Structure 1
Amino acid sequence: MPVTYFHRLCGALVLALLTGCEPQPPMPLDQQLYIWQRQWRSAHEQALAESRRNFSTLRVLGLQAHPKAGWSRALVNLAQLKADGRPVIAVVRLDGQLPALDVQLAQQQIAQLIARWQQAGVTPSGLEIDHDSGSARLAGYSQFLQALRKQLPADIKLSITALPAWLDSPNLPELLDAVDSSVLQVHAVSDPRQGLFDPVKAKSWAQRWSRASDKPFYLALPAYGVALLPDTGGAPLVESEAPLNHAGERRELLADPQQLADLALQLREQPPSHLAGLIWFRLPLPSDRRAWSLTTLKAVAAGDALASQWQVQFVKREGLYDISLVNAGNLDQPLPKRVQLAARGCDGADGINGYRAQQTQQHLEFTRQASVRVAAGGRRTLGWARCLDISQGAWNVYP
């Protein structure tokens, strides 16, 4: 029987119905990245190269104003930024404690920043103002943004970092009307003693923000940690990228990669209206001890399954073994509490880097004395031993 147009049409309809019943993969969300170091280092070059495939746009701290220090520029390596080639949004940080926003001075400083970047071959596609304004001052902040918008080149989009506390302000519509987009920050916005980040609150804030305006918005998500130090005033001091010259026990807080991965999946599957993407804070460098590794950050942003995998490796030289732990997964992990190896004929052993060694007739055991994170792909020596033999595959790691 010849195949007719009717048969082909029926086949196409059946195929459409069948495929329509299959679950569709989550829609991708644009992934962007903050660069927040105030002084660029040689390590930025490799970090930029390794992040290029995963993050579409760089939001780069370029300028900041503080009540006592005044205006200062971040020392950005513009040659590296130009070579990277991705779209760039310049971020201007205005401290929330500034007594007033000087429109004329801000315009002058921002114009000089943009001109300097353009002369180096970096043309920002946008400008983001990061200002922790109190809700009571949003009307004045809106006027500041309106005046700033008039002075910006037409091809530079204006955005702001926004706070969930503004959701209840009657001045929020006017504020959002003054900009092209907003970045809702959902980390480090509550009392630090309650934690750095709450995924349930973050999702709720995003849903509410989506109803505040029909303009696009982004979510700024954490990929870092902080430490809390006791202070005589009652509220704790917060130590982040730079160490504080302050005595006292530090309570470490770290954004949980799995929590963020779960939230990102939920947002992809059911994105709030007008959500344009996610922006991760911040690009990590190897020296950044309170940030996720770039391997973990890329895995979370890409929606990859997170997994930890420890491997024990050792190198033998004339009966002396150097013993190391390797984090072979894509998830940063605290060092395991205990590592046990099958060994014989040992006449000496010692732990280093926070481990203590113990010997029995059949085993070497290394016990952790202090908790330290090891980045995905990282290595840490846990000790040495002088033995006749250590079995290559006979070891156990205990969390």
Structure 2
Amino acid sequence: MDGGAAAVFAGRLHPNSAARHLLLRPSHGGVVKLLPRFFTGKSLYSQHHLQLQKQSHFAYFSTYHKNNVNSVPLSSPASNVAPVLADIDWDNIGFGLTPTDYMYIMKCSQGEKFSKGELQRFGNIELSPSAGVLNYGQGLFEGLKAYRKKDGKILLFRPEENALRLRMGAERMCMPSPTVEQFVEAVKLSVVANEKWIPPPGKGSLYIRPLLMGSGAVLGLAPAPEYTFLIFVSPVGNYFREGLAPINLIVETEMHRATPGGTGGVKTIGNYAAVLKAQSAAKAKGYSDVLYLDSVHKKYLEEVSSCNVFVVKGNLISTPAIQGTILPGITRKSILDVACSQGFQVEERLVTVDELLDADEVFCTGTAVVVSPVGSITYLNKRVSYGREGVGRVSQQLYTALTSLQMGIAEDKMGWIMEIN
């Protein structure tokens, strides 16, 4: 394990974790770190040893399990044995953090390339108080999901798109980033190692959170000298407590999520802290979330706090164009393609708030929500409702089409689904 920012696992392991017995081991800086018993000075699983192109993930972990009594048992989807699942209430998991078994960590120095990642027990990480991510917000994150099919296969939805978006954001934030291949491999490893936390079919998904951060110590304003790429996962249900039910939005006219020339078009951590004040005020008034306008003209739609927005008028589906202040959502991109394939006319352009108020239907998209129909919009104290506050026809149609693809129910004619086992 690396020194400065290695994981500290004390007190954070889930009670269902496979290995509860820990050993003390000093780090390079003299800090005592808690490691699982089967850590013997080497990483649990490393990219160097896995040779994933030559063997399946299951084959590797099955072999590992036979030789390590403390490893997490995994079941082969080809067998008649039901997969081992964590002992939690799958019907009521909600969208919140459930600590799982493993997280993935990979490091590199400024000017170098990432290599030699490893899985470690999920737990706290150690950072210098002067870490770049803590002092100057030099950090990015991604979000994607894994689904369990009825036949036991595990599916990922377009993970290479997340990898490409992370690389784009890293360039904007002056950070090195994993290659697409490294990113996808790390995601696969993280999912397989935490397979028992993937919800049963129809009960939710395994949310995957990759992080890229300046973990090295820096005092003056400058890129950090060291970077950490980390992935943790958590089983989740619906993002909005309403599920696939209409949400109620309020249009924010004073505060803005992003400005031209800023970082609104990349998934940097600072974008999300900036929306908390308006979002908290909106929720206190009974709204589900906030819809932001552009900061220059204050009349063009941008996005909801963590979702892209779509406006439906007849057979036309319009969404704000990507011009540097709107995050290029992967679900957004997918919905545009799905809508085209189903005969809708699709436009990416400037969309005014007046068009929003005159729409037949409005919906939001995002990794967490997939598709979320909007029941009402409140703008300058005027409330406009859509479809008698039921789930709109277009929202339902696109939600069903996309989730059927993601969960392996419908044939993947788009080539978007990646099977892990």
Please report the TM-score for the alignment, with normalisation by the length of structure 1.
0.22
User: Which has the greater radius of gyration?
Assistant: 1
Question: Which structure is richer in relative contact order (CA contacts within 8 A, separation 6 or more)?
Answer: 2
Please report the TM-score for the alignment, with normalisation by the length of structure 2.
0.21
